[in-house]
């Protein structure tokens, strides 16, 4: 195991990480997008993005795009490279405000978190469409890990913290259990060459209806490219 530092809340850090990774000239078979914050008070990343959207979504959007060449070069017809993005069941209640992705008009921790998780699902479906259109040996899937007992809940109301402390052993997954579907998506032979899936408890399931809106997927992709400063070559594809 080798560690390379990457702060997903910093576009500069992401680009520096990618340069360091490329310099190693090694293959990239699996990319797991798993960083995140939840229900944080209103604050911004160093690039001026609302933190949920900037870290949970835009950081992964930029990282994935900058690593796509390495993934494409590593994948083969019989052994596709895989991109796994961790979303949440919260995306089912999320709304995408294309005219206010930074939640500047009205900030809600719950709304901002749900929007970032919905954006990850939309991104995954659009990414898989583009990978297929380009004939790439790379697949992209999105995972719902379930309710997992981690430090993500540090910003919830104190009453919720007490209830969590009392019931976590009964209702919450352990971190190991929460990681199982991500690992399944990364290595299972059943998913060889299969992309564009929403996975929960190691099974394909249906995501929110809104996530299948192809026009919304395209618009979010184009806007995201503008926000992180990369070329939107994909806009010319169907």
The answer, yes or no, to whether residue 178 has pLDDT greater than 70, is: no
Question: What is the span of the domain harbouring residue 82?
Answer: 11-236
Q: What percent of the chain has pLDDT over 70?
A: 84
pLDDT tens-place string over residues 53-83: 999 999 999 999 999 999 999 999 999 999 9
135-151 pLDDT, tens digit each: 999 999 999 886 544 55
Asked whether residue 27 is assigned to any structural domain, the reply reads yes
Average pLDDT over residues 26-45: 91
| pLDDT of the residue at 94 | 95
19 has pLDDT over 70: yes
* CATH code of 153's domain: 3.40.50.720
113 is catalytic: yes
Whether 23 is covered by a domain: the verdict is: yes
Q: In sequence order, what are the beta bridge partners of 138?
A: 81
- 4 located within any domain: no
169 in Cβ contact with 208 (< 8 Å): no
In a domain, 82, yes or no: yes
Interatomic CA distance for residues 138 and 160, integer angstroms? 40
Tell me which of 57, 113, 125, 184 is the catalytic residue.
113
pLDDT top residue among 154 and 99: 99
How does strand 198-200 pair with strand 138-144? Answer: parallel
The answer to whether residue 20 sits within a structural domain is: yes
Is 5 inside a domain boundary?
no
Overall domain count for the chain:
1
Q: How confident is the model at residue 153 (pLDDT cuts 50, 70, 90)?
A: very low
Q: What is the mean pLDDT of the chain?
A: 88
Bigger pLDDT: 170 or 185?
185
Distance, in Å, from the CA atom of 132 to the CA atom of 40, rounded to the nearest integer, reads 36
Ranking 14-18, 71-75, 105-109, 227-231 by mean pLDDT, the lowest is 105-109
């Amino acid at each position: 195991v080798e560690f390379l530092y990457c702060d997903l809340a910093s576009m500069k850090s992401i680009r520096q990480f990618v340069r360091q990774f490329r310099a190693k000239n090694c293959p990239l078979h699996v990319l797991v997008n798993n960083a995140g914050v939840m229900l944080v008070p209103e604050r911004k990343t160093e690039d001026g993005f609302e933190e949920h959207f900037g870290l949970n979504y835009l950081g992964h959007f930029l990282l994935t795009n900058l690593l796509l060449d390495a993934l494409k070069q590593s994948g083969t017809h019989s052994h596709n490279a895989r991109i796994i993005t961790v979303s949440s069941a919260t995306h089912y209640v999320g709304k995408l405000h294309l005219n206010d992705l930074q939640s500047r008009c009205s900030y809600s921790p719950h709304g901002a978190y749900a929007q970032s998780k919905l954006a990850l699902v939309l991104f995954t479906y659009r990414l898989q469409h583009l990978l297929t259109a380009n004939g790439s040996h790379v697949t992209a899937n999105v995972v719902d890990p379930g309710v997992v007992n981690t430090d993500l809940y540090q910003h919830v109301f104190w009453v919720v913290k007490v209830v969590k402390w009392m019931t976590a052993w009964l209702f919450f997954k352990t971190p190991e259990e929460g990681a199982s579907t991500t690992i399944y998506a990364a290595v299972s032979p059943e998913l060889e060459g299969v992309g564009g899936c929403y996975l929960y408890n190691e099974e394909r399931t249906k995501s929110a209806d809104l996530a299948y809106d192809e026009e919304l997927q395209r618009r979010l992709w184009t806007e995201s490219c503008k926000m992180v400063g990369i070329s939107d070559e994909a806009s010319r594809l169907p």
